[in-house]
Structure 1
Amino acid sequence: MKILQSTENERQATPGQAEPAITRVTATVAQVMNLPLDQVLTGMGIRVVESEIDDANFYGGVHIGNGGKVTIFTSPGRDPRVTDTLVRYLIAKTFDLDVADLPAPFGVEYTDITEQARDAWVKAACP
């Protein structure tokens, strides 16, 4: 896996105008979708990692770890514009911002891996 430090991005502030600050608490859909992606990631404390999952049906996923640390996993070899769009969409969904669902055939699946892992461990430890 490689950590993606930056992405190509054409979104820029109006010359002479400062970009508005973005945080997890104050984020809006407009900010997530329009600010430079690096600024969104830094302001919201999100790390993007290119996964090794090469399944054609996998576009990306989000892991929320201890303390709320957010890591977004992307699939390798995708067009950078597709990755940019997906990362922004996953950020919006993760922070429960008001964005429309992706059109068919795309979909978002929610799982609580921690709960599933805990249940599997309890079943294995207490047969």
Structure 2
Amino acid sequence: MASVANTNASRQAAPGQAEPAITRATVTVGQIMNLPLDQVLTGLGIRVIESSITDANFFGGVHIGNGGKITVLTSPGRDPRVTDTLVRYLTAKTFNLDVADLPAPFGVEYTDITEQARDAWVKAVSA
């Protein structure tokens, strides 16, 4: 994953060459890790929001909402390179692409809160 932190001009297309299209149907790990992050996010329809979670052990998370809307939550105050790497990693994981797990002490936890959210909504509208 050394290319994740690579910020040199090699991320750009050669002069006269169009950037490869990035879509949800055809996205690759190479595109996520090497294209400019704003191009990845725009192409995949992902928004990034800095969360208010200040726990030192929280680096970020992904919320997949209705209609497949994807929001990546980042931790405030992190080094921009760490945030860039995390957003790219979480994006690749969201699309079930083959990326290596993060090294210790990092871990990824998957939680489906659909049923809990539905129960809370039912309680709210029936009250």
TM-score interval, normalised by the smaller of the two chains: 0.7 to 0.9
CA–CA distance in structure 2, aligned partners of residues 39 and 117 of structure 1 = 32
How high is the sequence identity, in percent, across the aligned residues? Answer: 85
Q: Does residue 102 of structure 1 match 2:116? A: no
Range with bigger deviation, 15-24 or 89-98: 15-24
Equivalences for residues 1-127 of structure 1 within 5 A: 10=8, 11-118=11-118
Secondary structure, aligned partner of 1:61: strand
Please give the per-residue CA displacement for 1:54-97, whole angstroms capped at 9, x wherever unaligned.
Answer: 11000000000000000000000101100000000000000000
Instruction: Provide closer, same or farther for how the CA distance between residues 18 and 121 of structure 1 changes in structure 2, counting only shifts above 3 A.
Output: closer
TM-score (norm 2): 0.83
TM-score (norm 1): 0.83
CA–CA distance in structure 2, aligned partners of residues 52 and 15 of structure 1 = 41
Structure 1 gap segments, 5+ residues each: 1-8
CA–CA distance in structure 2, aligned partners of residues 47 and 120 of structure 1 = 25
Partner of residue 6, structure 1: none
Q: How many residues in Structure 1 have an aligned counterpart in Structure 2? A: 117
Instruction: Provide closer, same or farther for how the CA distance between residues 32 and 122 of structure 1 changes in structure 2, counting only shifts above 3 A.
Output: same
Secondary structure, aligned partner of 2:83: helix
CA RMSD of aligned residues (A): 2.1
State the one-letter code of the partner of 1:71: T
Q: Stretches of 4+ moved more than 6 A in 1?
A: 120-123
State the one-letter code of the partner of 2:33: M
